Structure 1
Amino acid sequence: MEMKEVHANPAYKVLEVTLDSGEKMPQHYASSDAFLIVTKGKAKVQLPDREEVLEPGTRLHISASLPHSLQVEEEVKAFVVLAADAQIEFTDF
């Protein structure tokens, strides 16, 4: 998994996230709302009440502090927009 900040200002930041085929992103949450925009690949995100398929063009809002995990089927590239001071915390290793 590669996560790099590609833009930031006083209000928000944008992270570019790349995950390889077969990779898992363990359960985690962000301290602010997050908006995910998928540009490449295929993955499934497991939320407490449902599973969502992520493919190019998918846009997904994830509320602050909502735990979720990710299973990558095909290499994924996505952009995540968060509050400027947001932190990502992993809860499951």
Structure 2
Amino acid sequence: MRITCPICGERDRREFYYVGDAVLLERPDPEAGEAAWDDYLHNRDNPAGDTRDLWSHEGGCGAWVVVTRNTVTHEVLATELASDVAADLREARP
């Protein structure tokens, strides 16, 4: 699989470190209870199809990159700097 770093260009996947889903998780209240915290820490969706993942360009420039890819075909659909994605999310919040 090839991933295009927005800074360095197209690179082999082995230069990157997969971090996890690029989603905002709603952290439970500290008093939410054991079940809520267990769910928050351990349970994630595992969809077949398009996902947005957070990767670190560990073997290159060190950038944090949001990769939109298909988990079935491994096709990379888009890449963006995570800082740009975070800025867009902050602007979209009321």
Does TM, normalized by the shorter one, top 0.5? no
Which has more helix, going by share of residues?
2
TM-score bracket, normalised by the shorter chain, equals: under 0.3
TM-score (norm 1): 0.25
Which has more strand, going by share of residues?
1
The higher relative CO (CA closer than 8 Å, separation ≥ 6) is in 1
Name the larger-Rg structure. Answer: 2
